[in-house]
Every structure is written in structure tokens, then in C-alpha cells.
Amino acid sequence: MSGHVFHPGHSDLHGVTVVLETDTGVLYVGRYHEETAAGVLLHDAAEHQPAPGGTTAQAFVEKTLKFGVRAAHRNIVVPAASVRRVSRLVDWTAA
Amino acid sequence: MPYDPRLVQPMRDEMTRMGAKELTAVPEVDAALGDSRGTMLVFVNSVCGCAAGSARPALTLALRHPNRPEQVVTVFAGQDVDAVARARQYFSDYAPSSPSMALLRDGEVVHFVHRHMIEGRSPDQIAQDLTAAFDRYCQPTTA
């Protein structure tokens, strides 16, 4: 069923838990809903802020893979201009 | 707000047909999970068609495997809210998601299937992952 879009008219990523990387280094893990002119809408998204001496983005994603998404945002729109990459969480693997 | 019970009944029926015991209230959850021995799979059911629509058939397939949990129980997210909240306390290291599955052995989580491990995958693919976990943690059962 890979590539199957359950809700017709939506992106392949609709309903899928993704990792959204931004140009500022802030990273979100959440359920992709859609991309509009305003940006990418994620549901139930966790957020990682880069900080000196803090958890790396890779470590944050690995922890999320194992223990799940600790949502900090019920809904969040990430401005399209700041989105660097969107990928499926399950495509991330341990470094 | 919970969905109309008539809408979700087929999703409940799918679980009980495969032999899962429904836990709809906190005392039922505590009775099942409170001092569990052996192996138990807890299925957090969901109305989400794109994920739960694969997860339930996947579990049906996986339970045909010779090695499988001695008990299968289920709670329904968004429906039996208190029961789900209580069940999640038994695997609170893991972030809540639905559908999801926790495989417990003697009350300890030994394997967890998050929603993100279900999305976009076929029942066969999910069942393969489940049976791999069953082979690792469960014994053959005739139940």
C-alpha cells in the first residue's frame, strides 16, 4: 500500500508522520496534513530547538522513533519559506 | 467528542472477532494490566481509516502465527477515554498515539508499535513486524 493516499485529493504525505527541517535549525516531527501558501500544516507536532550542548536533531529524532511523538503543538503551520526538507519519520534511522 | 457508537461498532467487532478482549472502563483496565503475567498485547484502537484500517487486519494476520501473545486486549482511543488514559499509564514511557500496540511480558513493555510504524504500510508488512516480535517474546499458544 506504499504510496497509497487514503484521502483522495491530498498529498502522498497526508496523514503520515514526518520530520520537517527548517532553515533556522528548528525541527518538527508531526503528522502532515497539507501544504498551502501559508506553509505546511502539521498536527500533533513535537519540536526540537537547536541549542549549544543540547540534544542533537538526530538524537531527538531517534528518541522519537523509539518512544513516539511527544506533541508540543496540536496544530502548527510552518512557513513555506523556512521549510528545508520534509521526510517520513520512518525513513530516519539510527546514525 | 466521541464518534457515534454505531459508526465505531464495526471497528470494535473487528477486534473481538480476532479474540481481543475489550476494556471500556478503568477497573477493567486495571484488572487486565494491573498484575499481568505472561504475554499480552494491548491494541489502542482508532477510527483513523488510513492507519487503523491497516493495523486491525495486520493484527488479525499476526495472531494466526504459532507464537503469539497469551492475551490480547483493546481500548478505543477517542471513545473509551478514561480506559485509554489508564491503559497508557501502563506504558507511559511511550508517547500516546493511535492506533498503536504495546506488547507486554510480565507487565513490562518489550515491543511497541507506534502509529508512525503503521502509516502507509500494508497489513502484511505490519503483520511481519508483529510476528517477528512474537517470535522473540512469545511462546506457541493454542488459545
Concatenate the DSSP letters of all residues of B11-76 into one string: HHHHHHHTTPEE--SHHHHHHHHTT--SEEEEEEE---HHHHHHHHHHHHHHTTSSB--SEEEEEE
Counted across chains A and B, CB pairs separated by less than 8 A come out at 48
**pLDDT at residue B142 in the model:** 61
Q: Which residues of B touch A7 (CB under 8 A)?
A: 50
Q: Tell me which residues of B are annotated as active site.
A: 48, 50
In a domain, A12, yes or no: no
Domain residues for the domain of B129 are 5-134
Whole-prediction pTM value? 0.89
> Phi first, then psi: what are they for A94, rounded to 5°?
-60, 140
CATH number at residue A25: 2.30.30.100
**Mind telling me how many Å the CA of A52 is from chain B's nearest CA?**
26
* Nearest CB neighbour to A90, from listed B48, B100, B116: B116
Give every CB contact of residue A1 below 8 A, 6+ residues apart in sequence: B54, B120, B121, B122
Count of domains for chain B: 1
**Local structure of residue B129 (DSSP, 8 states):** H
* C-alpha pair distances (Å), A36 with each of A32, A41, A42, A56, A57: 12, 8, 12, 29, 26
**pLDDT at residue A93 in the model:** 80
In a domain, A47, yes or no: yes
**pLDDT at residue B117 in the model:** 94
In a domain, B57, yes or no: yes
Q: What is the Cα–Cα distance from A76 to A35, expressed in whole angstroms?
A: 12
CATH number at residue B125: 3.40.30.10
Q: What is the pLDDT of residues B95-128, one digit of tens each?
A: 999 999 999 999 999 999 999 999 989 999 999 9
In a domain, A11, yes or no: no
Whether ipTM > 0.90 holds is no
Domain residues for the domain of A27 are 17-89
Count of domains for chain A: 1
In a domain, B141, yes or no: no
In a domain, A75, yes or no: yes
**Mind telling me how many Å the CA of B95 is from chain A's nearest CA?**
5
Q: Could you tell me the pLDDT band of residue B143, with boundaries at 50, 70 and 90? A: low
State CA A43 to chain mean position distance: 9
Q: What percent of chain A has pLDDT over 70?
A: 87
